[in-house]
Amino acid sequence: MNLMVASLLAVDPLLDTDKWWWKVLAIVAAKVLAIFVIGLIGTMLMVWFERKIVSGMQNRIGPNKAGPFGILQTLADGMKLFFKEDLLPDKADKWVFRVAPFLAFVPAFLLWSVIPLGGDFTDGKDGTVTWFGETTRVQLIDPPVGILIVLALSSIGVYGIMLAGWASGSKYPLLGSVRATAQMISYEAALGLSLGAVLLMSGTLSTSGIVGGQDGIGNWNIVATGFIPFVIFMIAMTAELSRPPFDLVEAEQELVGGFNTEYSSIRFGLFFLAEFMNVITMSAIIVTLFLGGPQPLTLGGVDMLGFAGPFGGTLWVILKTLAFLYTYVWFRATLPRLRYDQLMDFGWKLLIPAALGWFLVLAALQMTRDKYDGLGPVLLAAALGVAVLFVAYLLFNAALVVSKRNREREGVAY
Amino acid sequence: MSLFLRDYLTVVWFGLAAILLAGLLLGVAAAVRPSRPSKEKLIAYESGVDPVGMGWSQSQIRYYVFALLFVIFDVEAVFIFPWATAVERYGWFGLITMLIFIVLLLDGLVYAWKRGLLRWV
């Protein structure tokens, strides 16, 4: 019974004990502190990293005064924000205006708690490490619904932005926040559906379970789910973060500063911090879901970072996350911003149907693969897949024809 | 307290710590920054000219349509996730049922599309 409960809930082995409670408390406290420090330092470095890379791509030098290579620039900016006057606009809804930064900042931090930041997952090990004689995971918690927590927290983050814009009692922030909300919920649908493909492969919602299932590069979900969900997830995530080319939320030419126009001083700083922290956590989540998190990349059966020993997993997470952070900065330097109607069309008319179609094909494949032997499952899945794709194509075509007719009847709008 | 809840208690502590940190940042800033508000400073920003009318202006109905459509797919996700984690267990019955469910919901999207609701003018 006890075993069943433990396996059902996939609790951290650390918490499954009644002895030495102060030791358990100390490890949990150490983890909380470590994640706080990683989060803040990581965010600080991320801002510097982005400014430096972008300036390199635009043939500028970028920040180079504060500290070596300007690495302390973010700290200097933060200090400046501390000493700036904080204004509460006359027309603002005072209470909501004060609460909104918390609503943006706290979920950004909480997202860290479910990401596996290290540990040994090779050869079917469950990623636990032993600290001070206690077995635990290198993640704050490992709840059985880890991925749902990620989705829930990223949705709460939208509240922060929406309420900030609304509470400002000003037109530009209101427009910015309404845009942000529409964009985020649009792409959240595509995000959730491409996530379904990962769940099909892993058969669990717990983040460490998802990582555990991805041993060897052939089993990484980016390969196992056939690349399409990864691309959709990546695009949807960029839109969720309102990073360029999806940064209509703060399109300066149209909306001044977007939802945070009326915010100043450290209150603005909190939004800024949350935004950049989200970039890092979301990159880490992509790594967890699609690139095997702490799973090593092996060359001839040997872990390429094997020399790092027990820190190898953490090193892999950092390396993989850095690759994504660079990609986001690269996007920003390369791609021009989308128009709002293009953004909506892209999300609703391309990403969502594609994610759904791919999900169904994968579901058919997954089911037949485990049920029958030989060539049967492939043929069966292929037949079902073709049927589903055909129906989807017919629907798509019908919709296209109808929309064309609509356009002809009502005149070309754009 | 059950094991299940004990795991989440850590999240609660973590959340409280995050709130505390944000509060601390705001508190420190409140202690060191100057405060010299004037009437002009507190006016809502509208590119330097005096604001016209109310800040809480009406926004377009289109946003509301997209919010409704989002509900379709959010409901879909609620049903898809548990099923996706246990596809094999439900077998063909589950797959066919899910196909019908998804195609029905997709109909909602196609209908909205057909009526031109997805068109952003």
User: Would you state the pLDDT for residue A125?
Assistant: 67
Read off the pLDDT of each residue in B4-27 and give the average, rounded to a whole number. 79
Given a cut of 50, whether residue B103 has pLDDT beyond it is yes
Q: Which of A47-51, A303-307, B2-6, B88-92 has the lowest mean pLDDT?
A: B2-6
Instruction: Answer whether A111's CB lies under 8 Å from A285's CB.
Output: yes
A345: chain B residues, CB-CB within 8 Å: 118, 120
| Residues B28, B64 within the same domain | no
Q: Which of A285-299, A390-404, B89-103 has the lowest mean pLDDT?
A: A390-404
User: Please, is B22 exposed, middle or buried when counting C-beta atoms within 10 Å of its C-beta (0-12, 13-18, 19+)?
Assistant: buried
Size of interface A-B (CB pairs under 8 A): 241
A192 to B74: CB separation less than 8 angstroms, yes or no: yes
The parent domain of residue B87 ranges over: 59-121
**CA A375/CA A221 separation, integer angstroms:** 23
Summarize pLDDT for A323-347 with one digit per residue, the tens: 999 998 998 888 888 888 888 888 8
A367 to B80: CB separation less than 8 angstroms, yes or no: no
| Residues B31, B65 within the same domain | no
pLDDT band at A314 (very low <50, low <70, confident <90, very high): confident
Q: Which of A10-14, A91-95, A280-284, A350-354 has the lowest mean pLDDT?
A: A10-14
Find the CB nearest A141 among B10, B34, B103: B10
3-class SS string, chain A: CHHHHHHHHCCCHHHCCCCCHHHHHHHHHHHHHHHHHHHHHHHHHHHHHHHHHHHHHCCCCCCCCCCHHHCCHHHHHHHHHHCCCCCCCCCCCHHHHHHHHHHHHHHHHHHHHHCCCCCCCHHHCCCEEEECCEEEECCCCCCCCHHHHHHHHHHHHHHHHHHHHHHCCCHHHHHHHHHHHHHHHHHHHHHHHHHHHHHHHHCCCCHHHHHHCCCCHHHCHHHHCCCHHHHHHHHHHHHHCCCCCCCHHHCHHHHCCHHHCCCCHHHHHHHHHHHHHHHHHHHHHHHHHHCCCCCCCEECCEECCHHHHHHHHHHHHHHHHHHHHHHHHHHHHHCCCCCHHHHHHHHHHHHHHHHHHHHHHHHHHHHHHHHCCCCHHHHHHHHHHHHHHHHHHHHHHHHHHHHHHHHHHHCCCC
- Please report the residues numbered 363 through 382 in chain A whose beta carbons come closer than 8 angstroms to any beta carbon of chain B: 363-364, 366-367, 370-371
Given a cut of 50, whether residue A1 has pLDDT beyond it is no
* Domain assignment of residue B54, yes or no: no
- Separation in Å, CA A222 to CA A192, A233, A239, A410, B87: 16, 11, 20, 43, 20
B121 to A270: CB separation less than 8 angstroms, yes or no: no
A128-131 and A134-137 beta bridge pairing: antiparallel
Given a cut of 80, whether residue B25 has pLDDT beyond it is yes
B3 to A106: CB separation less than 8 angstroms, yes or no: no
Summary mean pLDDT of chain A? 80
- Work out how many domains chain A is built from and give that number: 1
* Domain assignment of residue A4, yes or no: no
Residue B62: closest CA among A161, A183, A352:
A183
Torsion of CA A99, A102, A103, A108, to 10 degrees: 170
A175: chain B residues, CB-CB within 8 Å: 59
User: Would you state the pLDDT for residue A233?
Assistant: 92
Q: Which of A253-257, A266-270, B4-8, B103-107 has the lowest mean pLDDT?
A: B4-8
Instruction: Answer whether B69's CB lies under 8 Å from A182's CB.
Output: no
Given a cut of 70, whether residue A124 has pLDDT beyond it is no
Burial A221-239 (b: 16+ CB within 10 A, else e): bbbbbeebbbebbbbbbbb
- Interface probe for A, chosen from B10, B61, B71 (most Cβ of A below 10 Å), is B10
- Is the pLDDT higher at A162 or at B54? A162
CA A389 to chain centre: 29
A85: chain B residues, CB-CB within 8 Å: 33-37
* Domain assignment of residue B77, yes or no: yes
Provide ipTM, 2 decimals: 0.84
pLDDT band at A364 (very low <50, low <70, confident <90, very high): confident
- Is the pLDDT higher at B114 or at A162? A162
Q: Tell me, what amino acid is at A87?
A: L
Read off the pLDDT of each residue in A6-35 and give the average, rounded to a whole number. 64
* Domain assignment of residue A217, yes or no: yes
Please state the pTM of the whole predicted model: 0.84
* Domain assignment of residue A371, yes or no: no
pLDDT band at A3 (very low <50, low <70, confident <90, very high): very low
Read off the pLDDT of each residue in A385-413 and give the average, rounded to a whole number. 72
The parent domain of residue A154 ranges over: 12-338
CATH number (domain holding residue B96)? 1.20.58.1610
Q: Tell me, what amino acid is at B103?
A: V
Q: Percent of chain A having pLDDT more than 90?
A: 3
**CA A373/CA A371 separation, integer angstroms:** 7
Q: Which of A106-110, A306-310, A407-411 has the lowest mean pLDDT?
A: A306-310
Summarize pLDDT for B39-95 with one digit per residue, the tens: 877 777 777 777 777 777 777 777 788 888 888 788 778 888 888 888 878 877 888
Instruction: Answer whether A58's CB lies under 8 Å from A333's CB.
Output: yes
A341 — contact with chain B (CB < 8 Å)?
A: yes
Given a cut of 60, whether residue A2 has pLDDT beyond it is no
* Domain assignment of residue A46, yes or no: yes
| Residues B31, B63 within the same domain | no
* Domain assignment of residue B41, yes or no: no
Given a cut of 50, whether residue A8 has pLDDT beyond it is no
* Domain assignment of residue B47, yes or no: no
pLDDT band at A123 (very low <50, low <70, confident <90, very high): low
* Domain assignment of residue B42, yes or no: no
A279 — contact with chain B (CB < 8 Å)?
A: no
Q: Percent of chain B having pLDDT more than 90?
A: 0
Structure tokens at A266: 């450290």
**CA A151/CA B15 separation, integer angstroms:** 16
| Residues B81, B118 within the same domain | yes
A105: chain B residues, CB-CB within 8 Å: 18, 22
* Domain assignment of residue B67, yes or no: yes
* Domain assignment of residue A353, yes or no: no
A353 to B109: CB separation less than 8 angstroms, yes or no: yes
B29: chain A residues, CB-CB within 8 Å: 81-83, 86, 265-266
- Work out how many domains chain B is built from and give that number: 2
| Residues B120, B75 within the same domain | yes
